[in-house]
Amino acid sequence: MTKRFFGTDGIRGTVGEYPITADFILKLGWAAGKVFGGKSDERQQILVGKDTRVSGYMFESALEAGIIAAGVDVGLLGPMPTPAISYLTQTFRAQAGIVISASHNPFADNGIKFFGADGYKLPDSVEHEIESYLDEDIRTMASSQLGRASRVVDAAGRYVEFCKGTLPPGFSLKGIKLVLDCANGATYHVAPNVLRELGAQVETIGVDPDGFNINRDCGSTSPEALQQAVLEQGADLGIAMDGDGDRVAFVDHTGALVDGDELLYIIAAHRHNNGGCSGVAGTLMSNYGLETALGELNIPFVRTAVGDRYVIEAMREHQWDLGGENSGHLICGDITTTGDGIVAALQVLRVIVDTSSRLYDLRSGMTKLPQTMINVKIKKRVVLEDDPAVCAALKHAEQALAGRGRVLLRPSGTEPVVRVMIEGEDIKQVEQLAREVAAVVELAVA
């Protein structure tokens, strides 16, 4: 059964445009309260956190009111990374955690993501159950049965200690100079403390959120400022988070970007060399060079649909501890239940310290195939696979690559775009084919 509101990563859109409106989010909070509050006769709690968007204040209040009306208590976390809310949901024994965030999108967007009591994203069955209540009128509990709201004390401090605790006792980053870009987002008050308390010399950018500058010319989706800062500071490396802290990208000492595929390889190879990597889950967007490099180490690799929930499903199915996306969503299943930018960054830093190697050298074990992706904006969902011109363009591109590359056409689950991705050995050919296919897609969606 098709879901009406939930996408691959919660509910997301432009603030003020249905369903990202105060009245809808109020009812969503009530619906969530009805679903999670009915799990037991005992009083239940739902945690609510957010990133730094100005609209977060409005949606925090709306969710709070809806959940309380359903008779469920609310724990307010304030600005916190998405993975921190997953972790705190478990440690507080809450029935659910709700994140107000549009992740890497600009400030004008926002969204709602859910975690269950186990710290994992909700299964489809629970999302359907929540949506079923959205067709009903809000029925407020009697005053004696209303929920209560409270501010969670030192939520950030609890998460900082958790992150540090994912490393061996005595682990130190002393002697490492790095630049940290927090995207003016949810990690601005957490990530610098984690790295400094571990002994690193940390220079920061993107740590002054004002409600409007989240992800703007900063963070993992816009790493140019970080690349420049690493060179100017003479740093050993740079680390970039995205707006809600579930993605990470690195920059080596030469200013070159190191993406999620390369970081995943670095972690996997180190674990393999120490007897601890049974397999890796990637996605359709994972570079073929990752698959090849893992194959050379005899590490099994599978591809899933795009989205960290699908990566996690594959990891759990195969009982593997490692997976991720080239966007920087990296999941260390033996440590966390979701993509965590800080935890993943610490795992990469652990490899650097353990091997006394530079990031530049560690990434050399994997050779990426040239890849070009073009985002074609769309106004509504269209079935491009039924368009004869699009099918012909895709077939031409595949024939041109002659089995030595990949062609992928995929609608985004979080943005109103269709992604055209071409991968092959010749960068000029790859770029030309991507432009050709994108031009045909633009005509098809016009």
Residues annotated as catalytic are 103
* Separation of alpha carbons 434 and 43, rounded Å: 55
Kind of pairing, strands 45-50 and 96-100?
A: parallel
Does residue 42 contact residue 4 with C-beta atoms inside 8 Å?
no
In this structure, the chain runs to a length of: 446
* Separation of alpha carbons 302 and 286, rounded Å: 10
Report which of 6, 98, 9, 4 is spatially closest to residue 56, judged by C-alpha positions.
98
Does residue 189 contact residue 78 with C-beta atoms inside 8 Å?
no
For tokens 């988070």, name the residue: 241
Segment holding 290, helix H or strand E: helix 288-296
Q: Per the structure block, which two tokens stand in for 189?
A: 């008050």
Report which of 317, 335, 234 is spatially closest to residue 281, judged by C-alpha positions.
317
Q: Per the structure block, which two tokens stand in for 140?
A: 């407020």
Beta-carbon count within 10 A of 431 CB: 16
* Separation of alpha carbons 202 and 39, rounded Å: 45
Strand residue runs (E) in 242-368: 248-251, 257-258, 280-283, 301-304, 322-324, 330-332
Q: Report CA Rg, the chain.
A: 22
Q: What are phi and psi of 263, to 5 degrees?
A: -65, -40
Segment holding 241, helix H or strand E: strand 237-241
Question: What pairs with residue 98 in β-bridges?
Answer: 48, 114
Tell me, rounded to whole angstroms, the distance of Cα 111 from its chain centroid.
13
